[in-house]
């Protein structure tokens, strides 16, 4: 029988993609983790043998992973978007880059049936997609999906000491401003905002001995989309959508001594929902996309904080 009462995740930034780096930090409020290593193979029935004669050829290895966390700082956006500005003083800016940094991730389970720690490691992980959800009645949630180079069985690492005094960002301290060509409004009656970032990663393989793992994970076109759910502002949002106007959305996540501003540029709404049911609350979900323009990225994240950037938790 196995128990695995303790389980933990650590990660470390790689200096070179796909080279295992001993993880030394951790996401403080991680709520879900999953990873899958697939040893792809080709199997075929053979002519001339018995009915159960089959051959197997080993093909590529693929690694994907996912984690969900409550957001306590914006530091993880360096991995999501690609780069962070000078970190000596506040504020810092996270913005899209042509390549993404990678990480090695360690997963530990303790104790097994013999009282040992069961370890797995994943390396060369880059962020494929990330989805930030701001929803009434909840803390701000961030779900990240990774694509990686390979898996390994490393030596056991110690369990991290989580800082349970940390305060995550929450819905009731958020603010959403929509700026359009004829004015702007603060979406006080927004009930949910989802921002999705897709780096469109592609694993590339090469020929040669032991090249069954990717030789690179290539960044594709960056896509920034989202969905804004509101119980008001239908006049403004209807006009914006039907007139095909381009907007800017500023999202503020606020807690004591700490603010994250997410700016979405060149936003256009793609649908105008119109649904009524009895005397239920009227609520509309407006999907949108953001685009870059000269001098502006599709998305920019600015973090204002007290203290030093290095001391901010993940």
Instruction: Give the Å distances, CA to CA, from 31 to 118, 138, 203, 292.
Output: 20, 13, 27, 33
Q: In this structure, is residue 146 part of a structural domain?
A: yes
Taking the chain (314 residues) in runs of 10, the rounded mean pLDDT of each run is: 85 96 96 95 89 90 96 97 93 97 97 92 98 94 97 96 92 92 87 97 85 92 95 86 93 96 96 83 88 92 95 94
Tally of domains within the chain: 1
Distance, in Å, from the CA atom of 299 to the CA atom of 131, rounded to the nearest integer, reads 13
Q: In this structure, is residue 81 part of a structural domain?
A: yes
Give the residue among 75, 62, 14 at the shortest CA–CA distance from 35.
62
pTM, 2 dp? 0.93
Tell me the CATH number at 241: 2.30.110
Q: In this structure, is residue 96 part of a structural domain?
A: yes
- pLDDT at 176 (0 to 100): 94
Distance, in Å, from the CA atom of 290 to the CA atom of 79, rounded to the nearest integer, reads 20
Q: Which domain holds residue 191?
A: 69-101+129-154+167-305
Q: In this structure, is residue 3 part of a structural domain?
A: no
Beta-strand ranges (E) seen in the chain are 6-13, 30-45, 54-70, 82-84, 92-96, 103-110, 118-135, 141-148, 150-152, 174-180, 183-186, 190-198, 202-204, 216-218, 223-230, 247-255, 258-269, 284-290, 299-305
Q: What is the pLDDT of residues 161-208, one digit of tens each?
A: 989 999 999 998 899 999 998 888 888 888 999 999 999 999 999 887
The DSSP code for 281 is P
Q: In this structure, is residue 247 part of a structural domain?
A: yes
- pLDDT at 204 (0 to 100): 93
- pLDDT at 210 (0 to 100): 65
- pLDDT at 99 (0 to 100): 97
Instruction: Give the Å distances, CA to CA, from 65 to 7, 16, 118, 307.
Output: 16, 20, 18, 32
Q: What is the pLDDT of residues 224-248, one digit of tens each?
A: 999 999 887 888 888 899 989 999 9
- pLDDT at 211 (0 to 100): 81
Q: In this structure, is residue 79 part of a structural domain?
A: yes
Give yes or no for a contact between 175 and 240, defined as CB atoms under 8 angstroms apart: no
Q: In this structure, is residue 224 part of a structural domain?
A: yes
Instruction: Give the Å distances, CA to CA, from 268 to 271, 287, 298.
Output: 10, 9, 11
Q: In this structure, is residue 57 part of a structural domain?
A: no
């Amino acid at each position: 029988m196995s128990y695995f009462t303790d389980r933990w995740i650590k990660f470390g930034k790689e200096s070179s993609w796909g080279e295992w780096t001993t993880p030394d930090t951790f996401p403080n409020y991680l709520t879900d983790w999953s990873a899958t290593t697939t040893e792809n193979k080709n199997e075929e029935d053979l002519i001339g043998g018995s009915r159960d004669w089959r051959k197997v050829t080993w093909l590529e290895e693929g690694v994907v992973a996912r984690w969900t966390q409550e957001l306590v700082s914006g530091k993880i956006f360096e991995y999501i978007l690609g780069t962070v500005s000078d970190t000596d003083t506040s504020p810092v800016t996270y913005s899209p880059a042509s390549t993404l940094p990678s990480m090695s991730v360690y997963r530990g389970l303790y104790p097994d049936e013999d009282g040992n720690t069961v370890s797995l490691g994943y390396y060369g992980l880059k962020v494929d997609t990330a989805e930030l959800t701001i929803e009434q009645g909840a803390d701000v949630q961030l779900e990240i999906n990774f694509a990686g180079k390979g898996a390994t069985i490393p030596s056991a690492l110690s369990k991290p000491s989580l800082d349970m005094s940390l305060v995550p960002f929450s819905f009731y301290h958020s603010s959403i401003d929509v700026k359009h060509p004829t004015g702007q409004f603060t979406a006080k009656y927004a009930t949910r905002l989802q921002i999705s970032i897709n780096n469109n990663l592609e694993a590339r393989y090469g020929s040669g001995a032991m090249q069954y793992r990717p030789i690179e994970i290539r960044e594709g076109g960056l896509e920034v989309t989202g969905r804004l759910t509101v119980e008001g502002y239908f006049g403004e949002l209807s006009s914006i959508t039907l007139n095909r106007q381009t907007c800017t959305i500023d999202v503020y996540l606020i807690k004591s001594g700490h603010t994250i501003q997410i700016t979405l540029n060149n936003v256009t709404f793609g649908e105008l929902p119109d649904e009524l049911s009895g005397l239920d609350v009227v609520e509309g979900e407006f999907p949108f996309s953001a685009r870059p323009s000269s001098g502006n990225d599709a998305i920019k994240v600015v973090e204002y904080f007290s203290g030093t950037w290095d001391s901010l938790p993940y």
